[in-house]
Amino acid sequence: MRSESAAPPAVRPRRVVTDRRGGRSRAPYDTFNLGDHVGDDPADVAGNRRRLAGELRVPEDRLVWMSQVHGSGVAIIEDSDENPVAGVDALVTSAPGLVLCVLAADCVPVLLADPVAGVVAAVHAGREGVRRGVVPAALAAMTRLGARPADVEALLGPAVCGLDYEVPAAMQAEVARVAPASAVRTRKGTPGLDLRAGIAEVLKGAGVRQVVHDPRCTVEDRLLFSHRRDGVTGRQAAVVWLG
């Protein structure tokens, strides 16, 4: 998925979300698994990441990955020397050509871009990340590089939907204290979480005007990886860069 902007072509933000199709991984990671931490053959993951770089027409060493920990840590990066970046759930850069990558298989991949300032971010926002404030932390890091929330465009990628994300009532309440709109009922009438609704609420409260949802539910869409549906499985990626 790509987004056009008013920024000069040399620094226009670009966004892509992958799915399961077209890779070389075997079941249960079939086929375009980009996660190197889920038990897949490392050679297959490496081949898939090479293919991603080729499809994006960028050098493979410009793909910057994270060792995600379901927290609120953010790294502002200027190069790809540390790769993956350890212990964070958000990457922010103003460096053209660095492709920021977030992996997910039910959590929300959030891609942020200020096309005026030329600042982008990739955020891994699961239940714990939302509760701990990873999205506001990423926005704050972007502002340190000159971004303005009013100019930021947000894409909320495919994730488990509220109809399929059943949680205990106490857990729902913990997340709802930070993002009230996330509290919903599942298709069974039990307490659930719609993390994308909660994140959209947080972003708009911070002054972000443009929030776009990829409506696909990872549990329902078999072209997407879903840990909740399948247990052992792969990861799709959402990526953003200034290109």
DSSP of 96-134: TT-EEEEEESSSEEEEEEETTTTEEEEEEE-HHHHHHTH
- Span 127-142, mean pLDDT? 98
Q: What pLDDT is attached to residue 175?
A: 98
Distance CA 133, CA 152 (A): 18
Residue 142 has pLDDT above 90, yes or no: yes
How distant, in Å, are the alpha carbons of 25, 30, 38, 84 from that of 233? 11, 8, 7, 20
Question: Cα dist. 157→22, 101, 145, 160 in Å?
Answer: 19, 12, 24, 10
Nearest to 141 by CA among 223, 77, 205: 77
pTM for this prediction: 0.94
| Amino acid 40: pLDDT | 98
Region 25-34: mean pLDDT is 98
pLDDT of residue 30: 97
Mean of pLDDT values over 46-55: 98
* CA atoms 165, 169, 174, 179: torsion sign: positive
What is the pLDDT of the chain when averaged over all its residues? 95
For residue 1, what pLDDT band results from cuts at 50, 70 and 90? very low
CA-based radius of gyration for the chain: 17
Q: Residue 146 corresponds to which tokens in the numbers above?
A: 């000159």
Q: Which fold has domain 9-242?
A: CNF1/YfiH-like putative cysteine hydrolases (3.60.140)
pLDDT value for 192 = 98
pLDDT tens figures, 79-112:
999 999 999 999 999 999 999 999 999 999 999 9
